[in-house]
């Protein structure tokens, strides 16, 4: 039995030529083998090119994407596509990620500095046992200076969430051993050592390797790793240049290659830590129901924005938003309907946000809206636009409304972010008492 549909690019099934009727304009019904042949061929074809392949079976399949495009798929469950660029540079990191990363970097820097402050002078005991007195004394002075610098680093730098401070602390941590390495290298080359003394002296050459390996414990991007590793690589090259005439070139090249390899491994380890941290922060900072910032992460953002506002002496407005008569939704329609109403309200507020505004679910049906660089008049305008666009509908079809209290840092002369919340909360209750569905920015 044949079909009256013509053979060609519009035929229902493009079968192998030997399965078509010879000399006719019709197609035979496909056999089971033909169906399996077509299924197997199209199953391996990307969905985007399936239509093209069906219309032109003779065209070759599209080539697979290059390797660098397939790498993100290996971490599909950890990072989103837009987050992979964060592993290369910190320029587009979110403020909360930046703050937590800076705190972790400073904490680990202080811990390593403390260990070095203890271990560096203790090694003088070994030096005393194997080196001449004059060499030991010179190295002991260098060790005491390095120890004092490490102690100063521990005492002067505290974790405050500032990334520039974290960079400075990390840079100083690597600068101290680098300077000690260059100075000790010059001191050691002035002595003709042999036996055990020469073996211990050779151990000083491993200090750059220890420094580069230490980068692996920090959650750093690729650019940050390369910038921090470059002084160590430069110092290694400088140490070779200072002994140009007596330099053992095979040994020097091998050591430099090993340093470069350690730099690459440390960079991969740091980027892996950063990727893990990005995924954890994203999962921890968001409210699972509404998708806006959760209270704990919101408190960190509030403290961060308040500190930035104080440093730059710029306004910071805060709106306390409470959905009106929300309890009746749960009582009359159930908690599932209440959850849907919360999601709709959060989405409506999010659509009205300006660039830089931050929405936080504070608890239940309460939201905080942070508006940096916004005075009280600008905040009133933004909230009027929000009320005009609406907050969605209640399950019974009525419009969802909210009572809103607003406070601004400069106007209230607030010295503490919690005081700003208290003022906005008080004004929100004034809006409730005055009939709800209001914005109160004074009183």
Angle, helices 295-312/417-433, rounded to nearest 10 degrees: 110
Domains of the chain: 1-63 (no CATH), 87-283 (no CATH), 295-440 (3.30.70.270)
pTM of the complete model: 0.64
Across the beta sheet with 402-408, the strand order is 358-363, 366-372, 316-323, 402-408, 439-440
427, 407 contact by CB (below 8 A): yes
Answer whether 343's CB lies under 8 Å from 349's CB.
no
Q: CB of 226 within 8 A of CB of 281?
A: no
Tokens read off for 205: 């050459």
* Residue partners of 355: CB distance under 8 A and separation at least 6: none
3-class SS of residue 384: helix
For 193, left (φ over 0), alpha (ψ -120 to 50), or beta? Answer: beta
- Answer yes or no: are the C-beta atoms of 79 and 279 closer than 8 Å: yes
DSSP E strand boundaries for 378-427: 402-408
The predicted structure's pLDDT at residue 139: 93
pLDDT at 236: 74
Please give the average pLDDT of every successive group of 10 residues along the chain, which has 443 residues: 43 42 44 47 44 48 54 57 87 86 94 93 91 92 95 92 91 90 86 85 80 90 91 76 70 82 91 90 86 90 92 95 93 92 94 90 94 94 92 91 95 93 95 93 81
Alpha-carbon torsion, ordered 156, 159, 164, 165, to 10 deg? 0
Using a 10 angstrom Cβ sphere, with 0-12 exposed, 13-18 middle and 19 or more buried, the burial of residue 40 is: exposed
């Amino acid at each position: 039995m044949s079909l009256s549909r013509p053979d060609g690019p519009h035929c229902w099934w493009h079968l192998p030529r030997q399965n078509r009727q010879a000399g006719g304009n019709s197609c035979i019904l496909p056999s089971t083998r033909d169906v399996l042949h077509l299924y197997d061929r199209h199953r391996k074809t990307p969905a985007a090119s399936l239509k093209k392949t069906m219309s032109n079976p003779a065209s070759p399949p599209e080539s697979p994407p290059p390797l660098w495009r397939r790498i993100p798929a290996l971490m599909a469950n950890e990072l989103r596509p837009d987050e992979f660029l964060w592993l290369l540079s910190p320029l587009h990191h979110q403020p909360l990620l930046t703050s937590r990363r800076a705190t972790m970097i400073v904490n680990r820097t202080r811990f390593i500095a403390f260990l070095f402050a203890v271990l560096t002078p203790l090694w003088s005991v070994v030096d005393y046992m194997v080196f001449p007195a004059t060499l030991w004394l010179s190295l002991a002075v260098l060790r005491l200076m390095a120890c004092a610098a490490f102690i100063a680093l521990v005492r002067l730098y505290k974790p405050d969430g500032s990334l520039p401070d974290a960079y400075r602390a990390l840079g100083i941590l690597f600068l101290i051993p680098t300077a000690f390495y260059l100075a000790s290298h010059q001191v050691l080359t002035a002595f003709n050592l042999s036996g055990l003394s020469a073996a211990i002296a050779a151990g000083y050459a491993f200090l750059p390797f220890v420094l580069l390996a230490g980068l692996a414990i920090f959650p750093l991007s690729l650019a940050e790793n390369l910038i921090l590793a470059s002084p160590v690589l430069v110092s290694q090259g400088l140490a070779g240049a200072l002994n140009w005439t007596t330099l053992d070139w095979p040994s020097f090249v091998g050591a430099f290659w090993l340093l470069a390899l350690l730099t690459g491994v440390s960079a991969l380890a740091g980027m892996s830590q950063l990727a893990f941290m990005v995924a954890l922060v994203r999962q921890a900072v968001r409210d699972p129901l509404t998708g806006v910032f959760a209270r704990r992460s919101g408190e960190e953002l509030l403290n961060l924005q308040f500190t930035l506002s104080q440093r730059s002496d710029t306004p910071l407005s805060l709106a306390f938003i409470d959905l009106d008569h929300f309890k009746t939704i749960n009582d009359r329609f159930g908690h599932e309907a209440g959850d849907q109403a919360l999601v709709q309200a959060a989405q409506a507020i999010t659509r009205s946000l300006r660039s830089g505004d931050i929405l936080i679910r504070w608890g239940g049906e309460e939201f905080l809206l942070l508006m940096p660089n916004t005075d009280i008049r600008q905040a009133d305008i933004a909230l009027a636009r929000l009320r005009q666009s609406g907050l969605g509908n209640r399950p019974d079809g009525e419009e969802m409304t909210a009572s809103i209290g607003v406070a601004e840092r400069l106007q209230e002369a607030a010295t503490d972010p919690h005081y700003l919340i208290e003022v906005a909360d008080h004004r929100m209750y004034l809006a409730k008492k005055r009939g709800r569905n209001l914005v109160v920015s004074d009183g």
